[in-house]
Structure 1
Amino acid sequence: MPPGFYLCSADWIGRYMPEVWVQPDTLDDENRKFAQSPLRKPVFLNSLPKSGSHLLRNILRMFVPVEQQYKADFIQWPNLQQHKHAFNPARPMMSWGHLFMADASVIETAPTRRILLYRDPYDWVIARARFFLSEQFSGNVDHLKSGEFDVDELLTMMIFGLPGKAPSLNDIYELNVAAWLGTKTFIVKYEDLVHNLGIIDSDAAEAYFANLFEACGIERPGDWRDRVAIGSDRKQSGTAREQLTGVSVEFPETLSARHKALVDYQAPGLRTLLGYA
């Protein structure tokens, strides 16, 4: 899901809120099959769009009572004031969104346990392009689905953005990710999450998820692996790669050397800051 803002030279913010169509899941019913311990403090799952937001959210939904899950919307800058009650410490909830770092967002989320999810910019470029071309996405860049653009052109647009229509990679990462690194927040890398899902029976995965649950204020039950398996089922995520429909372009598994160089040119030092280089 693209962010709800367009930032250019830090001097103006747009109000671009695309429509995202997602099939409903059955996780509320699955959740109620397990004994749940209530949250004692609000949790906000902040994430870079197209970085595994639904994966992290769905896993953690299996550990929080349904009544404490704030489902009204993905919280973003344009709708922050409408949903700031999601962070009320007197009524602890787990909420989620794509909220960039600014004075109001820091103030409103101060009572929460902040979790920040992001992924390698190299892989994000491909994920963003695929999502823009899918039937699940609708916004002011729908002309990209016309078939008039080749893969290289589409990936380049994902890196540099489209003036007045879609922010550049650097714009998105700057306030959605990089600026939050200077605040109190618990970092989750998409790649680490996926890796530990793949070795779920190992001691390393147990330690990884123990740290994640502790950061969220979640009591780790003995059946945690069963819950993680249900929450991470890709069939429960309407935006998982295989759930996207209408994508007629075949994207590469990894960026070419040239496009990697363009990412590094457009956002110099970003991958080093995020721990990827």
Structure 2
Amino acid sequence: MNLPQRNKIKPFFVNSIPKSGTHLIRPLLEGIPPLQHHAFIYPGKLDQISEHQLILSKMTNNHFSNGHFYYSKEYETMLNNLNLKQIFLYRDPRDIVVSYAYFFMKLENTPTYHFFVKNNMDFKQRCLALINGIDSLNRVNIDLWYRLFIDWKNKNNIPPITFETLIESSQSQKKC
């Protein structure tokens, strides 16, 4: 079935900081005919750039991929060379910490879960550990980790969207 030209959307990439609404934005985009999800890519580290380039190069019109790419000039160049537009989704780092403090307690097969349980950490202690970093797990503090991504926010032609804006929009709809 050939779609009229006006219904063809060039492929694009939705980049997000983890726990910033990654799983909220995907169904929103899939609700736009004729958009379809292509791939989820995580993590976006430089040693994976050729693999990620191959995945993204296979996208066709009406497809998008999403994932978590740390900011780097190399990833910026790769996305530009593929002629992929990007949307950047981010969230207040304090809310990311809170989300992670709950999230890791659902992931029993992760080192972070075991660290929290072994140390009998309550919610506040888990938040503090995530804020300060966990050396034994090579988990940097939230500030350093957040800075790995946030430079995408100020790049030309990349619209930044906050998680808070997405939630505000959905809450406004409930009032109508």
Q: TM-score, normalised by structure 1?
A: 0.52
Greater displacement, 192-201 / 120-129: 192-201
Partner of 1:38: 8
Matches within 5 A, 1:22-33: none
Partner of 2:112: 141
Deviations 1:141-198 (A, max 9, x none): 2321346112222111110111243221112210212x11331211111111111112
Query: 2:54 aligned with 1:54, yes or no?
Result: no
8 A Cα contact 2:26 2:37, kept in partner? no
Q: Distance in 2 between matches of 1:75 and 1:58?
A: 21
8 A Cα contact 1:141 1:166, kept in partner? no
Q: Which of 57, 67, 76 matches 2:44?
A: 76
Deviations 1:122-159 (A, max 9, x none): 21111011111113x64332321346112222111110
5+ long unaligned stretches in structure 1: 1-35, 204-277
| 1:109 partner letter | L
Cα drift, residue 200 of structure 1? 2.7
Matches within 5 A, 1:65-214: 65=34, 68-71=36-39, 73-74=41-42, 76-77=44-45, 78-88=47-57, 91-92=60-61, 93-110=63-80, 111-135=83-107, 138-143=109-114, 144-146=116-118, 148-163=120-135, 164-177=137-150, 179-184=151-156, 185-200=158-173
8 A Cα contact 1:43 1:95, kept in partner? yes
- Choose between structure 1 and 2: higher helix proportion: 2
Q: Distance in 1 between matches of 2:13 and 2:59?
A: 15
| 1:187 partner letter | P
8 A Cα contact 2:15 2:66, kept in partner? yes
Q: Distance in 2 between matches of 1:71 and 1:45?
A: 11
| 1:186 partner letter | P
8 A Cα contact 2:132 2:142, kept in partner? yes
Evaluate the alpha carbon distance shift between residue 123 and residue 183 of structure 1 in structure 2; reply closer, same or farther with a 3 A threshold. same
Residue 166 of structure 1 aligns to a residue in which SS? coil
- Choose between structure 1 and 2: higher strand proportion: 2
Evaluate the alpha carbon distance shift between residue 187 and residue 193 of structure 1 in structure 2; reply closer, same or farther with a 3 A threshold. same
Q: TM-score, normalised by structure 2?
A: 0.79
| 1:192 partner letter | T
Partner of 2:3: none
Q: Percent identity?
A: 24
Evaluate the alpha carbon distance shift between residue 145 and residue 65 of structure 1 in structure 2; reply closer, same or farther with a 3 A threshold. farther
Q: Distance in 1 between matches of 2:59 and 2:48?
A: 21
Aligned CA RMSD, in angstroms, stands at: 2.7
Deviations 1:208-244 (A, max 9, x none): xxxxxxxxxxxxxxxxxxxxxxxxxxxxxxxxxxxxx
Q: Distance in 2 between matches of 1:148 and 1:45?
A: 37
Residue 131 of structure 2 aligns to a residue in which SS? helix
Partner of 2:32: 63
8 A Cα contact 1:126 1:155, kept in partner? yes
Cα drift, residue 58 of structure 1? 1.4
